[in-house]
Structure 1
Amino acid sequence: MRGLAGFVALAALAVPLASASSQTAPRSALSSVLDSAFSYEEMMVPMRDGAKLQTVILRPKGKSGKLPILLQRTPYGVPDKAPSSVPASMRFLMEDGYILVFQNMRGQFKSDGDFTMSMALDAKGRNGVDEATDAWDSVDWLVKNVSGNNGKVGMWGVSYPGYASAVALARPHPALKAVSPQAAWNDWWINDDLHRYGAMRLSYATDWLFSLQNNDSGEDFDYGGKAPVDSYDWFLKLGPVANLDKLYFKGSVPQLTAMIEHPDYDDFWKRQRWTETLGRTAVPTLHVAGFWDQEDPLGTWKIYEKMEAQDPDGLNMIVAGPWAHGTWHSPGSDVGYVKFGKESGTDFMRDIEAPFFAHWLHGKGAKPAFEARMFQSGSWEWKSYARWPAPGATMTNLYLQSDGTLSFTAPADPGQCREYVSDPANPVPFRERPISRTYPSQEWRWWEAADQRFVDHRPDVLSYSSAPLEADLTVTGEVAAKLMASTSGTDSDFVVKLIDVLPDDYEPVRGALGDYPRTMNGYQFPIAMEIRRGRYLQSFEKATPLTPNQVVAWDVPLRSHDHVFKKGHRIMVQVQSSWFPVIDRNPQKFVPNIYKAAPEDFVKATQRVCSGSLVALPVIR
């Protein structure tokens, strides 16, 4: 969430970033814009309850006439001075010109109030407040008090600022004319930063929540005085998750404490599902998602889906591409080590984001004609669809065979299984060791695109592989897996990965992270990965134990994708029962609160994956 994981535009104004500030725009028609400076003004904007929020206004010099306002609300800090030039991530936007406004959310830095991280929209009475009322009050004050504005306001942002822009749509001010929530979220228990279907995102939650909630300076958690060389070892020695709060945080990170005390999908989490308050879509909205977003991969799709249900005027749009968290604001010609050679990020900023705001806030250009615009991976081409999921796909089952192969033919040997032993004392790492802490980490940014060969031959990982494809296979839409599986324990996790295996004669390339230390030939390129926790198979609201050795269906949603498995590539599916330490360890013995399991509750279990297991692919023929 910080650095590039915060919003690049804001970060480039407040803290120089290699991904944004080091990009040099060509000396062209943009020269006069890029050489412009901004005027700078800081003020405290009043809210309805009397609280005042620290707000910075940056007005571009050299722009005549009244300009629209672009507002970004953030918990990460506002610029402390005017930048000398326009950051590369905003160069196309600023060709049209905007009054840029950055505001610290309630309780952050100089802003009054408490920063609770609550998404609940439960403001009551005349002076009741929540994030939606703060957005409304901010827009109202700005259009009435900022000189030289044209009465139109847009909101945008990535990650937390993305959520802060999205939530304004629950109670939109009449002057709010365009919103672009990017990598936003709507449900922290189901997915995104804090959980994956109830499984805690342990290492990320540790690093992110500490820097966000424990102090205004954004300092990194020091892991008890010395940052570990390998966070895998540190979290393994930590023991149960509750020890993180008991021994280190000691109540200083309220969101982590709440996670431990609310392991199930109870009212604490449900009341924060703010999208339930959305009504008819009245504000043009451009959602942006990354297919390899390592922090907030699902929320954007869910917000789009909710708004699409009541969008009679066609104001709801979504864009996605081969991006990690926020990398659509850099040129973008790589997915980690996989290079595709086209600047999809530049395309997005120039051809989609800037025209969207120009039309709705400046009245320039035509109304965007697309509903869903995807930069399709594999083919590495832009595609437009009438809606999302895209029409015309046929759900096609890819079966996990008992001999370790994948086939579109249903298995002829019902009841056959493959098995492995899952040991919580030796969990499967989520990326190659040593695993650095989240910040700062180049490995973190692209770990969901990393070569999976580092676990392919572990005895506790099952791999299934197809023959080389005889023709391209285009997968466009919602991907899902169903495992028919059992465990000898009374609780368990299953992780499913859908992988594009590059041919053995694939040409070695140079990617965003430099020269890959090993050949790209045979690279196991993950397309989709997700986890399900057994205690929540029957109900998210009430955890229940599994029956040992009973084969049951495990539905594993794998989200939206648009990918072409090319001719000559192979499809692989990997199955495992731990993903550490990005996901906390399942003790594999059922306990009422998994985060408070005792050391003796962590036991080995025999896992079986049986006939009938499959991945359902939306195939475009």
Structure 2
Amino acid sequence: MRKHTVLLAAVAALVPASFVAARPQAATSVAAPSVADQFTYTRVMVPMHDGAKMETVIIAPKGAKTKLPILFQRTPYGVPGGLPTQVPANWKPLVADGYIFVFQSMRGRFGSDGKFTLSTSVKTTPNEATDAYDAIDWLVKNVPNNNGKVGMWGVSYPGFAAAVALAKPHPALKAVSPQAAWIDYWLSDDLHRNGALRLSYATEWVSSLQVDKTQNKELSLDGMTDAYDWYLKMGPVENIDKTIFKGAAPMFTSLLDHPNHDAFYTDQNWQTSLGKTTVPTLNVAGFWDQEDPWGSWQIYAQQTKNDPDHLAQIVAGPWNHGGWQGKGSTLGAIPIGTESGTEFQTQVQAPFFAYWLHGKGARPDFTARMFQSGSNVWKTYAAWPPAGAKPTDLYFHADGSLSFTAPAAGEGCRDYVSDPANPVPFRKRPMSRTYATPDWRLWESDDQRFVDHRPDVLSYVSAPLDNDVTVTGAIAAKLMASTSGTDSDFVVKLIDVLPDNYVDTSTTNWGLGDYAKTLNGYQWPIAMDVRRGRFLASDTKPQALVPDKVIAWDVPLRDHDHVFKKGHRIMVQVQSTWFPVIDRNPQTFVPNIMRAKASDFVKATQRVCSGSKIVLPVM
């Protein structure tokens, strides 16, 4: 994040969004009115119990006639450098209710004391939970005109910082909204997917946080115009640490030293410290969140295990990372039909904090509320996953078709050659650096036709649907597959193929390039993920695969709420590389895959066989 001006710095921190959402583009989304005469700006250093002081900014309404609650956000991305000239659009419903807004740089970032470790552990002190406790304790005792009630909120890292405060909640903490939070660096979210390294994002995100304390410094990629080329040129992952970071990014080195799901990761899974749910919690997730799609669901699931007062809630929708804090009228090229983000801000987020911090309005009474994609309507569920969803098998066939009919006896396999030297790109080339353009933010909803012609991508597609198919709950792929290597990855994508006549092209006056922008035949990915073969039997003690032996590969595809509309087709794509968002599997088993050598990378023949299927929770 480049902070070109005080305005940008303020807007970036005021908008409760991630590093990506806080980039310069976000400044264009703010709207009138001026705040110069409405708020005071105060910068203080807040002491922690160990003596360290945290850089903190307090933005308080002028002339408040009653004492106000505090809305508190802790962030590693920097606090406002001054008041913005305009109220951010997604901030307006909260301003209307009245809050004292507080922003704090996390330990070891920008003006705060200490060392920033990127750790999520709560087993040693001080940690992010104790820092949140200490900060809240100071705020309620020292901020003028507060009513003794504090809410925490944030997206991405600030979302984690809000969530982890629940591990040691201060008595004044009365409401928390962890949005795109995370719980486990190995299983999913920022740094891995089921143990497979998120190479480009891990490299560039960790670099931005650890190379320089005083800024969110981007990796240059040596000025190359295509990130795909840069990562391929770097070769094995270890080369990045040796030639680029050279010890300046300790977390990246730790990822190489801990390739398996060992105590380095499990000790940081702070979610296990959650006991009885005592603080009202609004968990928020995006079904197309390209960074943290998983953690908020797991926090919610953990909370509901001991939630006698029904204080845990979950909201999700057709949003990318932090997309619910924008208008939410589109998901990349896909129209949503309404401003789902604005509706979340006004109908869900603001009433949640108003009730628990102001005592205004009715108590939010839903358990799960989803903006269902495909139908583009809000749905409310008494529980998540909801009752009534029936696991339904959607089978792969050897002729490339996909149907709800099981394959006939004797159906064979389809195969392809996976070459680590020519990996399948995860988005269109040339690829920008992760944060350089808007492309990263929306790649999970991109049209997948850019790879469906490759010989190392298998596509399976259904006939046009006779009726709507509503999928609500956890989706999973179950492959019966083999590799000629001793290790391998399989990537599975579930895709909604829009009809070829989705847009009437017969009467359009085409401009240059317009035809290619239509949604006719658009391959809209609904769920995508990767499974690494070495971890099929154990994620702590990886095992080599037996060459050419067909075995079961379970590929979890997370929770969704989507309607495949009548006339659409359902597609599944299967591939073995997804580069450079996922590091390349050498396809040769080595003890530490993170330190594989160039000579370990070999071609492998992959087979996908009869019995492979997607399990859909059909309502």
Question: What is the TM-score when the length of structure 1 is the normalising length?
Answer: 0.94
* 3-state DSSP of counterpart to 2:610: strand
The aligned residue for residue 15 of structure 2 is 9
Cα deviation digits, residues 260-295 of structure 1 (max 9, x gap): 111011110110000010000000000000000000
Cα deviation digits, residues 352-372 of structure 1 (max 9, x gap): 000000000000000001110
The aligned residue for residue 215 of structure 2 is 217
- Decide whether the 8 Å contact of 2:315 with 2:370 is kept in 1: yes
Cα deviation, residue 501, structure 1 = 0.1
* CA 21–34 in structure 1, closer or farther in 2 if over 3 Å, else same: farther
The aligned residue for residue 279 of structure 2 is 283
Query: What does residue range 242-391 of structure 1 map to in structure 2 within 5 Å?
Result: 242-391=238-387
- Decide whether the 8 Å contact of 1:415 with 1:611 is kept in 2: yes
Match of residue 197, structure 1, among 190, 194, 199: 194
* CA 469–164 in structure 1, closer or farther in 2 if over 3 Å, else same: same
Cα deviation digits, residues 170-208 of structure 1 (max 9, x gap): 111110000000000000100001000110000111111
For the residues of structure 2 that align with 1:340 and 1:382, how far apart are their CA atoms?
A: 11
What are structure 1's unaligned runs of at least 5 residues? 26-30
The aligned residue for residue 169 of structure 1 is 166
Query: What does residue range 488-503 of structure 1 map to in structure 2 within 5 Å?
Result: 488-503=484-499
- Decide whether the 8 Å contact of 1:231 with 1:437 is kept in 2: yes
For the residues of structure 2 that align with 1:605 and 1:69, how far apart are their CA atoms?
A: 57
For the residues of structure 2 that align with 1:579 and 1:158, how far apart are their CA atoms?
A: 26
Cα deviation, residue 34, structure 1 = 6.1
What amino acid maps onto 1:614 in structure 2? K
Cα deviation, residue 7, structure 1 = 6.6
After TM superposition, the structure 1 stretch with the greater mean CA deviation from structure 2, 516-525 or 273-282, is 516-525
For the residues of structure 2 that align with 1:204 and 1:508, how far apart are their CA atoms?
A: 39
The aligned residue for residue 469 of structure 1 is 465
Cα deviation, residue 340, structure 1 = 2.4
What amino acid maps onto 2:494 in structure 1? L
- Decide whether the 8 Å contact of 1:36 with 1:62 is kept in 2: no
Matched, 1:534 2:540: no
For the residues of structure 1 that align with 2:611 and 2:502, how far apart are their CA atoms?
A: 33
Cα deviation digits, residues 549-572 of structure 1 (max 9, x gap): 001100000000000000000000
* 3-state DSSP of counterpart to 2:15: helix
Cα deviation, residue 542, structure 1 = 1.1
For the residues of structure 1 that align with 2:27 and 2:279, how far apart are their CA atoms?
A: 29
Match of residue 207, structure 1, among 204, 207, 210: 204
Task: Give the alignment's Cα RMSD to 1 decimal.
Answer: 2.1
Query: What does residue range 358-507 of structure 1 map to in structure 2 within 5 Å?
Result: 358-414=354-410, 416-507=412-503
What amino acid maps onto 1:105 in structure 2? M
The aligned residue for residue 68 of structure 1 is 69
- Decide whether the 8 Å contact of 1:131 with 1:164 is kept in 2: yes
* 3-state DSSP of counterpart to 2:103: strand
What amino acid maps onto 1:556 in structure 2? V
For the residues of structure 2 that align with 1:294 and 1:385, how far apart are their CA atoms?
A: 25
The aligned residue for residue 28 of structure 1 is none
Match of residue 136, structure 1, among 110, 133, 137: 133
* 3-state DSSP of counterpart to 2:612: strand
Cα deviation, residue 228, structure 1 = 1.5
Cα deviation, residue 2, structure 1 = 9.3
For the residues of structure 2 that align with 1:2 and 1:339, how far apart are their CA atoms?
A: 30
For the residues of structure 2 that align with 1:612 and 1:11, how far apart are their CA atoms?
A: 42
What amino acid maps onto 1:388 in structure 2? W
The aligned residue for residue 24 of structure 1 is 31
Cα deviation, residue 543, structure 1 = 1.2
After TM superposition, the structure 1 stretch with the greater mean CA deviation from structure 2, 492-501 or 401-410, is 401-410
Aligned residue-pair number: 605
- Decide whether the 8 Å contact of 1:420 with 1:461 is kept in 2: yes
- Decide whether the 8 Å contact of 1:7 with 1:161 is kept in 2: no
The aligned residue for residue 175 of structure 2 is 178
What amino acid maps onto 1:9 in structure 2? V
Cα deviation digits, residues 107-165 of structure 1 (max 9, x gap): 01111111011111113xxxx31111111111111101111000000000000000000
* 3-state DSSP of counterpart to 1:263: coil
For the residues of structure 1 that align with 2:100 and 2:550, how far apart are their CA atoms?
A: 59
The aligned residue for residue 564 of structure 2 is 565
* CA 16–122 in structure 1, closer or farther in 2 if over 3 Å, else same: closer
Cα deviation, residue 47, structure 1 = 0.5
- Decide whether the 8 Å contact of 1:20 with 1:329 is kept in 2: no
Cα deviation, residue 255, structure 1 = 0.7
What amino acid maps onto 2:144 in structure 1? S
Cα deviation, residue 413, structure 1 = 2.9
The aligned residue for residue 92 of structure 1 is 93
* 3-state DSSP of counterpart to 1:113: coil
- Decide whether the 8 Å contact of 2:480 with 2:611 is kept in 1: yes
Cα deviation, residue 36, structure 1 = 4.8
Cα deviation, residue 84, structure 1 = 3.1
Cα deviation, residue 61, structure 1 = 2.1
For the residues of structure 2 that align with 1:515 and 1:438, how far apart are their CA atoms?
A: 27
The aligned residue for residue 606 of structure 1 is 605
Q: Percent identity?
A: 63
* CA 6–428 in structure 1, closer or farther in 2 if over 3 Å, else same: farther
Cα deviation, residue 309, structure 1 = 0.8
Cα deviation, residue 86, structure 1 = 1.9
Cα deviation, residue 599, structure 1 = 1.2
Matched, 1:150 2:147: yes
What amino acid maps onto 2:603 in structure 1? K
For the residues of structure 2 that align with 1:496 and 1:2, how far apart are their CA atoms?
A: 36
- Decide whether the 8 Å contact of 1:494 with 1:532 is kept in 2: yes
What amino acid maps onto 1:428 in structure 2? V
For the residues of structure 2 that align with 1:508 and 1:133, how far apart are their CA atoms?
A: 58
* CA 376–20 in structure 1, closer or farther in 2 if over 3 Å, else same: farther
* CA 495–75 in structure 1, closer or farther in 2 if over 3 Å, else same: same
- Decide whether the 8 Å contact of 1:7 with 1:157 is kept in 2: no
The aligned residue for residue 187 of structure 1 is 184
- Decide whether the 8 Å contact of 2:35 with 2:84 is kept in 1: no
* 3-state DSSP of counterpart to 1:611: coil
What amino acid maps onto 2:568 in structure 1? H
- Decide whether the 8 Å contact of 1:8 with 1:89 is kept in 2: no
Cα deviation, residue 37, structure 1 = 2.8
What amino acid maps onto 2:199 in structure 1? L
Question: What is the TM-score when the length of structure 2 is the normalising length?
Answer: 0.95
* CA 7–498 in structure 1, closer or farther in 2 if over 3 Å, else same: farther
For the residues of structure 2 that align with 1:619 and 1:170, how far apart are their CA atoms?
A: 36
For the residues of structure 2 that align with 1:12 and 1:590, how far apart are their CA atoms?
A: 36
- Decide whether the 8 Å contact of 1:481 with 1:557 is kept in 2: yes
